Structure 1
Amino acid sequence: MIKNSISVLGSGWLGFPLAQSLSKEFSIKLSTTTYKKFDKIKDENITPFIVDINNLSGEIDKFLSSDILIINIPSKNIDGFKELIKHILNSSIQKIVFISSISVLKDETSPLLEIENLFKKTNLEITILRFAGLIGYGRNPAKFFPNGKVVKDVNAPVNMIHRDDCINIIGNVIKQGIFDETFNCVTPSHPTKKEFYTYCAKVSDLPIPTFDSLKNESNKKIVKSDLLVLKLNYKFIHEDLMKIVF
């Protein structure tokens, strides 16, 4: 049975709207590293806490007084996460959703992969969500290449996911109680960089990026979400990247 208290570590581009969405059904605590966000968080009927992975204070134990923890911060501070795990093991947290990245698939020495493994070694129920490149709501790939910066590997397929799907997937994991899993979370369409970035620019009236004319066949890996779709019976909200409106 899913209980009703969730702590969300990280209140940025994904964490804040995630907390907003979950607060419709759960009691939510949300961490931030600055008091400037407190009023904004409280306005959503969410309880704010100051938590900094680089310097965990006494607030962390109150923040972890929940049933489920969602970890959604970009930090790769391994020592900080080791300290965080100590606090988690002394808390009421029973289940964890850890937001990771598909970047770990191509780098076995990634600090993020090491952090994933730290959590896997605990006796907690944890589901790791490896998100692809994050897009939507201000994150338009056509903006990734300012001032004439050249796009390389133009024929390589893109692996992306919209924020709406990220939030929906996290919600599904929690509501369905799907834990002790690792999922790659990637939109099922994979246009080339040239196709997708050109589309992103045109639909947003932005300059079309400059594309490298040299052919590079080295990076054509498509990451699929087959296990996610199977286990969660998941249907993507934005399943065609070439139809996304920015």
Structure 2
Amino acid sequence: MSVSIIGCGWLGQALAKHLMTNKVDIIASYQSKKTHEKLIELDIPAAKLSLPLEDEVLSCQSLDDIANIDVQLFQKRVLIIAIPPQLKKGRLDYPLKIQQLIHMAELGNTAHIILLNSTAIYNGLYGRVDETSELNLSAEKVETLVDAEQAAKKFTKGLTILRLAGLVGPNRHPGKFLQVKRVFENAGAPVNLVHQVDVIHIIENLIGDDNVHIEPNIYNVVSNTDSNRQQYYQVAAESLGLPLPQFSFEQQKTTGKKIIGERLRSKLNYTYKKDDLLTWLKEASRAL
């Protein structure tokens, strides 16, 4: 088994260390000097890859023709794309980055791509939403995330798209991000979160699956935490001894969106290790 991780930040580093512990052949990419130094500290093999590359990359017919890449990144069996969408020079270039990665994976030995996307793709929707819900392309970021998935779907081998809910885990206790004077909206909206450990184990299960289908699989990755925003962030604040966050009840929407992740649980027969993140929040707080 061999894996390349494109975008080795907080999640990618934890994933790489877990897979290396299980003797998986790993290489990770980095862009910044800071990330490179962290990967060296963690003994994670790495190669530099700055995205997006020059536009001409899409017309290249061999990896050897593409400048400024280490071909090792596209010679592993599984390619995990874990780069966050970012606004650059007034435009989102996330779909272009995905398009270039897909093209290079086609030229290399990649047999299975796992794209880590976001449940922000459901922005603008309300109530219960799942992988079959019609998306609101006029909402912020949605069109960008959809374009990225469409680019990934052009890969001619195995493809899995994981739409990740908000990430929590080590060094990401939600209480640490609360600002004393911050005012939150939509107090009654459901929280849609997932713990790092579950994302890692789901990916591990996927890369160990030899029955990868050509037809793309899309899964929501989200815990079954039963809480609204007000309850969750108040518990987060109390657990760290912080002032309770303030919530605005003006123009509050009666419902937010509740991401449903039953398809993954059923298809992959996966049982979440941190399915109640209110309980995790209290336990993590006691450990601080």
Q: With structure 2 as the length reference, what TM-score do the two structures score?
A: 0.78
Tell me what 2:50 maps to: 52
The CA distance in 1 between the partners of 2:42 and 2:173, in whole Å, is: 27
CA-to-partner distance for each residue in 1:24-62, whole Å, 9 max, x for gaps? 231000111134444543454532110112237432423
Tell me what 2:39 maps to: 41
1:113-192 correspondence runs (5 A):
113-177=146-210, 179=212, 180-192=216-228
The CA distance in 2 between the partners of 1:38 and 1:149, in whole Å, is: 34
Identify which of 237, 240, 265 aligns with 1:201: 237
Change (3 A) 1:139 1:44: closer
The CA distance in 1 between the partners of 2:75 and 2:33, in whole Å, is: 20
Which ranges of structure 1 fall in alignment gaps of 5 or more residues? Answer: none
Q: What amino acid is aligned across from residue 8 of structure 1 in structure 2?
A: I
Change (3 A) 1:37 1:151: closer
Structure 1 residue 177 displacement after superposition: 4.2
- Percent identity (aligned): 28
Identify which of 245, 261, 271 aligns with 1:235: 271
Contact 1:142 1:208 in 2 (8 A): no
Contact 1:145 1:151 in 2 (8 A): no
Tell me what 1:15 maps to: 12
Whether 1:63 aligns to 2:73 is yes
Tell me what 1:87 maps to: 104
The CA distance in 2 between the partners of 1:141 and 1:32, in whole Å, is: 26
> How many residues end up aligned between the 2 structures?
243
The CA distance in 1 between the partners of 2:189 and 2:251, in whole Å, is: 10
Contact 1:151 1:211 in 2 (8 A): yes
Tell me what 2:64 maps to: none
| Residue aligned with 1:23, SS | helix
The CA distance in 2 between the partners of 1:228 and 1:95, in whole Å, is: 18
The CA distance in 2 between the partners of 1:219 and 1:120, in whole Å, is: 32
The CA distance in 2 between the partners of 1:239 and 1:215, in whole Å, is: 31
Q: What amino acid is aligned across from residue 67 of structure 1 in structure 2?
A: R
